[in-house]
């Protein structure tokens, strides 16, 4: 399951809610058919009061779809506006041939390069290009915004477990965000072919509980 549990859960709730709403609308359609079957009887009852089944049906076909759209718009708007909330942490990501540079915009002065661990330093059984020497450390449970660009050719900041797929383009600044629900180490790669050493451009994001992240940040500053 994706570590970006906020979006995962919100989408699941929205789709589940929409599914039940569809069932409810179909149920109303069945009731409407039953209602039309009893139309003659209703006409005899309502006509003396100035109403008719035709008027009630016309009003229903306007009011019910409008109500359905309004009910669906509320959770959908909540998801959209979640992206406008200010992030806890902003990280500038610059791709190079063939490494990443991270700058903590929210912590001025803190930044470092992240490269593939050399073959001679790999632990037994590890594959060259899968481990970064300096993972990006972020807090779990908080919104994190990424500002992604490239210093040379096209790269890609792709971490599928976090729902991140941001191209790194020279001369352009693209953004994305995520919320990592669980602490852990999450791996990614630059998927576009960007040169001879394209493969060893690992992305590793280490999510820490917020108190541990703050302790790490204080240690880096000290």
Domain ranges of the chain: 5-82, 89-118+129-221
The CA radius of gyration of the chain, in Å to the nearest whole number, is 27
pLDDT at position 60, please?
67
Is residue 101 within 8 Å of 94, Cβ to Cβ?
A: yes
pLDDT on residue 130 = 82
From residue 86, alpha-carbon distances to 23, 106, 113, 172, 175 in Å are: 37, 12, 26, 22, 13
**Could you tell me which residues come within 8 angstroms of residue 132 by beta carbon, excluding any fewer than 6 positions away?**
100, 114, 115, 116, 117, 202, 203, 204
Residue 211 near residue 218, CB atoms below 8 Å:
no
- The CATH architecture of the domain made up of 89-118+129-221 is Sandwich (2.60)
Eight-class DSSP state of 105: T
Backbone angles phi, psi at 174, to 5 degrees: -105, 150
pLDDT of residue 48: 54
pLDDT of residue 189: 84
Mean pLDDT, each 10-residue run in order, the chain (222 residues): 53 70 75 67 57 63 75 71 81 92 92 89 80 93 93 88 87 90 89 62 93 94 76
**In the prediction, which pLDDT does 35 show?**
66
0.75 exceeded by pTM: no
């Amino acid at each position: 399951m994706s570590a970006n549990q906020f979006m995962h859960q919100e989408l699941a709730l929205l789709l589940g809610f929409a599914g039940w709403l569809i069932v409810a609308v179909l149920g109303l359609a069945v009731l409407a058919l039953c209602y039309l079957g009893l139309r003659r009887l209703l006409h005899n009852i309502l006509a003396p009061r100035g109403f008719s089944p035709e008027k009630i049906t016309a009003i229903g076909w306007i009011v019910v779809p409008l109500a359905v759209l309004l009910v669906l718009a509320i959770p959908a708007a909540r998801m959209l506006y979640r992206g406008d909330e200010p992030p806890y942490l902003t990280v500038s990501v610059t791709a190079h041939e063939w490494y990443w540079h991270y700058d903590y915009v929210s912590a001025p002065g803190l930044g470092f390069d992240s490269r593939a661990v050399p073959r001679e330093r790999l632990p037994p059984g590890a594959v060259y290009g899968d481990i970064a020497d300096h993972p990006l450390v972020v807090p779990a449970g908080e919104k994190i915004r990424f500002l992604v660009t490239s210093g040379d050719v096209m790269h890609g900041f792709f971490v599928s477990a976090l729902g991140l797929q941001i191209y790194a383009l020279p001369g352009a600044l693209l953004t994305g965000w995520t919320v990592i629900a669980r602490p852990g180490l999450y791996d990614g790669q630059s998927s576009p072919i960007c040169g001879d050493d394209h493969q060893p451009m690992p992305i590793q994001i280490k999510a820490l509980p917020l108190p541990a992240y703050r302790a790490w940040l204080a240690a880096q500053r000290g």
